[in-house]
Structure 1
Amino acid sequence: MDKNAQSKKGLLERLKEGPVVGDGSMCTTLEKRGYCRAGPWTPEAVLLYPDAVKQLLREYMRAGADVLQTPCFYCNDGKLKNVSQSGESISYSTEAINEAACRIAHEIANEGDDMLVCGGLSPVLSYGRERNMEKARAEFDSQLNVFIKHKVDFVLAEFFGHVEELEICVDVMKRSKMPIACTMRIGPLGDSNGVSVEECAVRMARTGADLIGINCMYDFNTCLKTLKRMQNALDKEGLKTYLMCQPLGWRCPEVENSLIGYADLPETPLALEPRQATRFEAHAFARAAYDLGVRYIGGCCGMEPHHIRAIAQELSSERKKNPAVDDMCPALGFLEHSQVTTIHKKVNKAYWMGQKPGSGRPFSPASSFTQGGAYT
């Protein structure tokens, strides 16, 4: 399965040595490329368009990611049945999608040098809608079985809105005997049941997970504020669990105090391009997160390969390696060879780090509004 399985360093060994770079957006990027449905965000693409999924993973690998996550976000039988267009039982099962996702992730990881494969588990409707704890455990078991069978390097519970559900999932994941990571989709207001950021952090650490943190829903600045509170809470309790973060690749400060983050934006999900973070904002985020103590840094929705490349470049001295793509295209090196005089002078990183990019839209507001339409 993995050509380097015997020799490569595991997740925990790497975290002891320095920062680990994760990969980025899958579903939202595949949707923009025409391979995924907006709204459901379920991962049938691994069965329908495997070459497209492979190419995106390959781009993250070349950009400098240390980890490729199995592209199977929101894959559980309850979710798949719920989004069936016909309302009947659909032909894509959790097992079939997770099997394909594992094969794809391992195949691309084997093209690289010393890559890790992470198996991702998602929240389940049996908890979110029914609060049926035993049924939820069974669904997490079903997701986990495939990752054990395909011998991923570690498992990740991601995008959890309730710390109680996350605790159940991590307890199930312990059966894998693998390193365990877990993230919640929380901002400053805490989880969807009103549990504070601080309590979430402490409870996550006390599950015994090796790596805890946040992912999705909020932008760089909001994530940094939340991470600082998490770190302070862990320090107060004497807990030494590693922190991770996989933020949005869009700027959305006005939803910082929303429980559902960017889902509250009028532009979501089909008009978010004007909010795209620049690669140099990703540089700045990576440095700020690392200085805060975060040791696993990747991306979620909107974080494209060039953002992951920026993170890998920013942390290259701590990681003692550069992205593979830098051999072909170093960050600024070729600008001086441009025939356009306004470009070939911009080889100074400080110039780009101080950039305040415009949208190109005259009279464009800093925050959005919708004109000529409404939704209810």
Structure 2
Amino acid sequence: MTASPSAARGLAARLADGPVICAEGYLFELERRGYLQAGAFVPEVVLEHPERVTALHEEFVHAGSDVVEAFTYYTHREKLRVIGAVDLLEPLNREALALASRVAADTGTLLAGNICNTNVYDPADPASADRARAMFTEQVGWAAEAGVDYVIGETFGFLGEALVALEVVREAGLPAVITMNLHEAPRTREGTELPEAMRRLADAGASVVGLNCGRGPATMLPLLAELVDAVPVPVAALPVPYRTDAAHPHFQALVDEAYPGLPSGRPFPTALDPFTCNRYEIADFARAATDAGAHYLGLCCGAAPHHVRAMAEALGRTPPASRYSEDMSRHVYFGSDPTLARLNLEYGRTL
């Protein structure tokens, strides 16, 4: 399979031109649409409804994403073991890469492979690193065969696991974007302070390092400037679009006291709706993150195309979806267009 038309320029060239936007959040968005089961969050939708995955790729590009990320998140051997479907490992990965490759080729966007935390890595158990490496090697091998421009390794809590993933990607001869998912404290699960963790990843050959998932804009933004100062490579910032705060820095920690009867006892992961950031908050984050020096931007779990469009427009871009950005001057009640009925205009001003 041939690489996307962007491969001749690649990730480094795109970053040299300005910030790169990478839309993520496929798990949550396809779950909301009724094509993926919350809990295991294994994207069987790739095989069961490939047209829905293709459509979401297209929608994210339409909204302003510079990257089509193959939906191979949580398609590793361990996640498939949990649902009793290890036999789907290779066909699921190859189909996800094929779907993403076609959209990237059609749109001239970057094509990214994807790997993530394995849920088996334990720094106290050297054998677990070998198991994680084997899983990464399988997925990265299929991504390389698909002609990806680079590989995203994401949502790592352990620096050690992130370094193993990075080593596998570099051995395949591909650029790597490595992002970590922090919970309560700005350090890795081993206790490594964040700037030091980012330096080690950059020194090991990552093309981009940074943060994704877990933290919303309000609790990710304060960490970015220190990271930019710490590393010689571009910094990534891909928060979840939820209103985390100092008391609840990670979306798994959010609580909704208005609804004490939530099935899980907490909003995460299926009752986060009241905490969702609006498009204007995402635009504010995009501007603030670039001001802080982050150069690789996006959104993770919970993102929808209108969020991505807001991010692109905040960077001064006009993606195709901008044709449909709001124009309230035409609203029947709130509009200022002189052709609107005077009675409706007056009513609108009183609402």
Normalised to the residue count of structure 1, the TM-score between the two structures is: 0.81
What secondary structure does 1:182 align onto?
Answer: strand
Q: 1:291 offset after TM fit, Å?
A: 0.7
- 1:165 is aligned, of 157, 161, 165, to 161
Counterpart pick for 1:121 among 115, 121, 131: 115
Alignment of 1:70-109 (within 5 A): 70-82=70-82, 84=83, 89-90=84-85, 92-109=87-104
2:333 pairs with 1:336: no
Give percent identity, aligned residues only. 29
Q: Which of 170-179 and 29-38 deviates more? A: 170-179
For 2:66, the aligned partner's letter is D
Q: 1:49 to 1:344 in 2, by over 3 A?
A: farther
Aligned length: 323
In 2, distance between residues paired with 1:58 and 1:116? 13
* Shift, 1:312, TM fit: 0.7
CA distance in 2, matches of 1:255, 1:79: 31
Match of 1:251 among 243, 246, 252: 243
Ranges in structure 1 where 5+ consecutive residues have no aligned partner:
346-376
Task: Report deviation, 1:143.
Answer: 1.1
Q: 1:373 maps to which residue? A: none
Q: Per the alignment, do residues 102 and 4 of structure 1 end up closer, same or farther by CA in structure 2, a change over 3 Å counting?
A: closer
Query: What CA RMSD, in Å, does the superposition of the two structures yield over aligned residues?
Result: 2.0
Residues 214, 178 of structure 1: alpha-carbon distance in 2 compared, 3 angstrom cutoff: same
**Equivalent in 252, 255, 266 of residue 263 of structure 1:** 252
Q: CA deviation at 1:229?
A: 2.7
- Offset of 1:92 from its aligned partner? 4.5
Matched to 2:75, the amino acid is C
For 2:217 and 2:297, the matched residues in 1 are separated by 11
Task: Determine helix, strand or coil for the equivalent of 1:213.
Answer: strand
| TM-score (normalizing by structure 2) | 0.87
Distance 1:128 1:304, change over 3 A: farther
Q: Tell me, what secondary structure is at the counterpart of 1:263?
A: helix
Find the aligned partners of 1:267 and 1:17 in 2 and give their Cα distance: 39
Cα displacement (A) at 1:128: 4.1
Match of 2:258 in 1: none
Q: In the alignment, which of 159, 184, 197 is matched to residue 200 of structure 1?
A: 197
Q: Distance in 1 between matches of 2:24 and 2:208?
A: 18
CA contact (8 A) 2:59 2:305 kept: yes
Residue identity opposite 1:118 in structure 2:
A
Mark the CA change 1:230 to 1:39 in structure 2 (over 3 Å): closer, same or farther.
same
SS, match of residue 120 in structure 2: helix
Map of 1:301 onto structure 2: 301
**Distance in 1 between the 2:223 and 2:240 partners?**
14
2:225 to 219, 225, 228: 228
What CA deviation, in whole Å up to 9, does each residue of 1:13-59 have, x standing for no partner? 01111111111310011111111111211111101111111111111
Offset at 1:98?
A: 1.1
Give the drift of 1:325: 1.7
Q: Judging changes above 3 Å, is the alpha-carbon distance between structure 1 residues 124 and 91 closer, same or farther for their aligned structure 2 residues?
A: closer
In the alignment, what sits opposite 1:46? 46
Q: Find the aligned partners of 1:306 and 1:140 in 2 and give their Cα distance.
A: 32
Corresponding residue of 1:310: 310
Structure 2 unmatched ranges of 5 or more: 255-265, 338-351
- The one-letter amino acid of 1:30's match is L
Q: Secondary structure at the match of 1:74?
A: coil
- 1:215 is aligned to 212
Q: Does structure 2 conserve the Cα–Cα contact (< 8 Å) formed by 1:47 and 1:97?
A: yes
* 1:264 maps to amino acid: A
Distance in 2 between residues matched to 1:118 and 1:104, nearest whole Å:
12
